A = this chain, B = another copy of it.
């Protein structure tokens, strides 16, 4: 007898340096059930794929069964949607070209699409977030790295080799700070979590003024953002400088692609207006005349604990468009 099933759900997977999270998501973007484990427990990629597959099988069995699942979408650092591979990630433990989508497809027998974090977040913002209805916009992801994804005429712009959006590696300070990519003066060296901490150290070294930053056990971008809200002048100065660099890079970005809005997402959202205001100021100082004051710079409205699996679920629904397994 033919079973009449409606494949009304997908699996969204978020892979980050530390955690891997997978969730069953329905068509409306309801995250029905979610689990996670430590990515860093599996420095060998084969072990990682085995663990992820086994967990997903058990997870799906316990939550409605395989017949309800249409496909899988994955958000991964340095993921290339054209190849379904994680390619030369500077941060992940798996080096070189990792054909993760193909490996998971072979284990699970489901269609798998894979994209990088920025690409996947942009899909999430476009379908369920603040960019809903926009056709030309940019999502900027800010955390360990700084990436972005451009929507052009209502579609993600991936570029010819699939590496579009690397705003973090636009050079903004000639002969500036050394970036993880090997170049100097990249935006990422100034506005990633680590870049913000480096700016804080510079600010602290420039004067003897008092700041709670001097007494923190761990000086991280999150702590610095929290100190802004307590009125710590030097912490505020750190985000003033961060905003200056970010606004400048986004102005160059906007002069080239003239988006309706930039949507900032990631750890730095915590700094809120302490980051947004200097960013907007620097943006307007550097941007092309005809769009000055016209491009919005916004914070993501999606729940940080769900945005990546949500975005990955959108990718899963578009598996025919994005996957190499058509």
Interface set of A (CB-CB < 8 Å, partner B) = 87-88, 135-137, 148, 150, 152-153, 155, 157-167, 169-171, 173-174, 181-183, 248, 251-253, 255-260, 285-291, 294-295
Could you say how many copies of this chain the assembly holds?
2
Q: Say whether, besides A152-B153, A252-B170, A258 and B288 are in contact (CB < 8 Å).
A: no
Q: In whole Å, how far is A99's beta carbon from the nearest beta carbon of chain B? A: 16
20 further contact pairs, Cβ within 8 A, besides A157-B257, A166-B258, A169-B289: A88-B289, A136-B157, A136-B160, A137-B160, A158-B258, A159-B258, A160-B258, A160-B260, A161-B290, A163-B290, A165-B256, A166-B256, A170-B251, A170-B252, A171-B248, A171-B251, A171-B252, A182-B289, A183-B286, A256-B257
Whether the pair A150, B257 counts as a contact (CB closer than 8 A) is yes
Whether the pair A136, B163 counts as a contact (CB closer than 8 A) is no
Which one of B137, B159, B289 lies within 8 Å of A257 (CB-CB)?
B159
Bound complex: CA A165 to CA B156 (Å):
17
Whether the pair A258, B152 counts as a contact (CB closer than 8 A) is no
- Please name 28 pairs of A and B residues whose Cβ atoms are closer than 8 Å in the assembled complex, sorted by A: A87-B290, A88-B290, A136-B157, A136-B159, A136-B160, A148-B256, A150-B256, A150-B257, A152-B155, A153-B153, A153-B155, A153-B157, A159-B257, A159-B259, A160-B259, A160-B260, A161-B258, A163-B258, A164-B258, A165-B258, A166-B288, A166-B290, A169-B289, A170-B255, A182-B289, A252-B252, A256-B257, A257-B257
Bound complex: CA A171 to CA B157 (Å):
23
Which one of B88, B152, B163, B183 lies within 8 Å of A157 (CB-CB)?
B152
Question: Which residues of chain B are near A162, meaning CB under 8 Å?
Answer: 258
